[in-house]
Chains A and B, each alone.
Chain A
Amino acid sequence: MNSVFTKTLCGAAFAALMMSASAYAEPAKPECIAGAKPGGGFDLTCRLAANALLEATQISKPMAVTYMEGGVGAVAYNHVIAKRGSDPNVITAASSGSALLLAQGKFGQYDETAVRWLGALGADYGVLVVSADSPYKTLGELVEAYKASPEDFAIGGGGAVGSQDWMKGSLLAKAAGQDPKKMRYAALEGGGAVLTALEGGHVKVGSGDAAEMVKHHVAGKVRILAVMAAERLPGELADVPTAKEQGFDIEWPIWRGYYVGKDVSDADYEWWVNAFETASKTPEFSKEREARGLFEFTLLGKDFEDRVKADVERFKILAKEAGM
């Protein structure tokens, strides 16, 4: 306890020094809240910010990562609103999944306007996969077959009904002109279980994320039929066409970003946006981002705030169409 107290004091003194020295107020105790267990997507998001900001010398001491699991980020969201609303030290990891949950009212009584959205530093993209011995080589073939007999195509994803993986499946159903409500969807425990279920023939189509599926694609265990990105992804996925190229208007970026409390001052908000901006332009940042399997997707400040609001609106419509 004592040492924490001393550290806090030292930090505060240091911050006071820095404040007089620089135009921007560097947070005295930078902290990133990950609304899940260590090792998950939020943890990865927090570590990306922590490493990028430190390497770009935007913060002078390491940013602490705090874990606050519960309700896929719901506990953290409510905590920030209730207890850290004006704390400029804290940023919290979020993803497009958070926007989806907000659209479905699963973050409790609060909506997307209860926090200030800072920015996104990277993104993954949805993919549709089939097992390596599947007869379908393109998304078009799969959609045609699905159209003919949707009941033969159980879709497996790593999330519940209404989750991002389910949404990706429902986009396939919609592309085939079928009712997403009648989709046969198995909610499996993450990408590994999807892979096993595909190999065992228990499901015919898998819905997942590019970063996770790419290694199985390269290893020849599954075939990625389409990436749900606006343009082809770099690296090992360069030869996989986008859904758009194949004539289907399906996009599903999974951005990873951050928010701060509603009552954080404009000056502090601007400090974070600038720090992200500066950090995201360094070559070290690209390396950090790629190491985490994320593709380029930098969207900061007002632009990001608009994006989140637009996403929530879009997800509300999608959820309604899918009968959620």
Chain B
Amino acid sequence: MNLEYLWQGFAVALTWQNLLIGFVGCFIGTMVGALPAIGPINGIALLLPIAYTMGLPAESTMILLAAIYCGAEYGGRISSILLNVPGDAGAVMTALDGYPMARQGRAGEALALSGLASFVGGILGSIGLALFAPLLSGLAIGFGPAEYFVLMLFAFATLGSMVGGQPAKTLIGCVLGLMLATVGLDATSGAYRFTFNEPELGDGIEFVVLVIGLFSISEALIILEHQGRGMTVIRELGRMTAQMSDVVKSIGTTLRSSVLGFVVGVLPGTGASVSSAIAYTTAKRISDTEGTFGKGDVRGLAAPEAANNATACGAFVPMLTLGVPGSGTTAVMLGALMLYNIQPGPMLLVERPEIVGGLVASLFVGNIILLALNLPLVQIFARVLTVPNWLLVPGILVLSIVGVYSAHSSVFSIYLMMSIGLVGWLLRKAGFDMAPIILGFVLGRVMEVNLRNALAISGGELSILFSSTICNVLWCMALLVAILPLYLSRRAKRRIAAKNLAIAE
């Protein structure tokens, strides 16, 4: 296996400038993770335009965003443990055993142990990513317009399993994203579409404007709406190191959950919330012989934390090898690459090994920084929980406006961002998830352009979409991920029905 890209990556990640950027990203990431209101995607959305305007090279921006992403997975546990309110989606399960430990006066221990579990998960996930990333690059040159189109279809098919709760709303969000992607100069015919003679819309809706509007502005509105909800922070942390016996007790669970988390992360469309739930329930089924889970069991604490960090690394696999986002956060990172005029996809590792390598290497470095930040300095982040909303909301708004204006220096962009934020807020109130919109937006452009190019090459013959092995394999995979969840849920229903029948008899 060719790991040359990784050594090249370490050379990139270990420059003092990128180390500093990684450190800043880890710090901010832990902070946004700890704040219950904002998650990694908000942190990334807010910092992306700033990084872009500062003129950071693409690999440094990627390192910054990846550090925020991983940092948030670490930080999420802090409010889960101290507040019983998960800091981000991946930390929901952490509260189950973390908060009881904190109430028993073992908050410091819980923070230290979960920090260690996060570290193990993060490092194992990074190793997995480093081995996986070059696997597909040999096929890269075979990807033409037809192959890219089917690849994007596959990515959309995986969406079905992503937000399983409300498939209709996921679909609507996705289509909304696709529609927004059609605004602006049509890359194939050169015609303006849906611009209403407004030159500012000529290049379409800017990615930064959409992301900040959908995530940051609408988030600020949501926080304002939930003003005054009382929360009590546990301030007594107790001893700040983990007990050796607890570490030994949880080591098996941690390793198992890391592997599990990574595998779930690699599957496109499933994120940290899914993997931490699976890891927790698996740990409970295997280890909970005395019924201590949910009452402050260290294994119940370690399992979701190891898993969500490994998942964050795993989610980079489809993103870096195929250009398919595995989650909302990686979709934003893909959009960031496109801002730099870098087309994500199988060619990325071949053409820009310093970006892929730099990102992977920075994950190793970042996890070490994060361990250092999250063990001795965890008290600083615990303070973040007390940041009042009257400071937080204006802060988010100011950062959003400055970010958008600095990236595009146009007042029109600010109005557009505000309007999108307002619509986003209404959609969220109606129970829509924002991630499918972003996925639809990012993938939609690539999908449309490649379909039209494929058909232009073939002279309108649809057979070009089935003409290569890569295409056909992708078609099969797309069908599989689209049908499998339906089949599984039907089988589960049938089994429940059979069980009910058995009970009735």
Contacts and interface: CB of A to CB of B under 8 A. Distances in A.
Interface of A: 37-38, 66-72, 74-75, 78, 104, 106, 108, 151, 154, 159-163, 184-190, 192-193, 196-197, 199-203
Contacts of B203: 69-71
Interface string B76-113: 00000000000000000000000000000000000000
Contacts of B192: 71, 106
A67 B407 CA distance: 10
A196 B141 contact: yes
A104 B203 CA distance: 17
Given A67-B409, A71-B199, A75-B200, A187 B457 contact: no
B287 to A, nearest CB: 50
Contact of B199 (A108, A151, A160, A163): A108
A201 to B, nearest CB: 8
Interface string B134-145: 000000011111
A143 to B, nearest CB: 20
B185 A160 contact: yes
B449 interface: yes
Given A69-B408, A75-B200, A186-B145, A161 B190 contact: yes
Nearest to B339: A37
Interface residues of B, number: 32
B343 interface: yes
B188 A160 contact: yes
Interface of B: 55, 141-145, 185-190, 192, 197, 199-200, 202-203, 341, 343, 347, 351, 408-410, 449, 452-453, 456-459
Contacts of A78: 199
A184 B199 contact: no
B143 A200 contact: yes
Contacts of A190: 341
Given A68-B409, A160-B188, A202 B202 contact: no
A285 to B, nearest CB: 26
14 contacts: A37-B341, A66-B409, A68-B409, A69-B203, A154-B456, A160-B190, A161-B189, A162-B190, A187-B452, A187-B456, A192-B343, A200-B141, A200-B142, A200-B144
Contacts of B144: 197, 200-202
Contacts of A151: 459
Contacts of A66: 409
Contacts of A154: 456-457
A184 B202 contact: no
A163 B351 CA distance: 26
A193 B343 contact: yes
Contacts of A37: 341
Nearest to B148: A202
Contacts of B458: 184
A192 B342 CA distance: 10
A10 B77 CA distance: 54
A68 B200 CA distance: 10
A190 B449 CA distance: 13
A78 B412 CA distance: 15
B178 to A, nearest CB: 19
A305 to B, nearest CB: 24
Contacts of B142: 200
A187 B187 CA distance: 7
A260 to B, nearest CB: 19
A192 B410 CA distance: 30
A96 B223 CA distance: 51
A193 B186 CA distance: 17
Given A184-B457, A200-B144, A160 B409 contact: no
A106 B185 CA distance: 10
B200 A70 contact: yes
User: Which 6 A-B pairs give the minimum distances between C-beta atoms?
Assistant: A71-B202, A202-B144, A160-B190, A186-B453, A154-B457, A162-B190
B416 to A, nearest CB: 13
A186 B190 contact: no
A187 B185 CA distance: 13
Contacts of B343: 189, 192-193
Given A72-B202, A154-B456, A200-B141, 16 more contacts: A38-B55, A68-B409, A108-B199, A154-B457, A160-B187, A160-B188, A160-B189, A160-B190, A162-B190, A185-B456, A186-B457, A189-B187, A193-B343, A197-B145, A202-B145, A203-B457
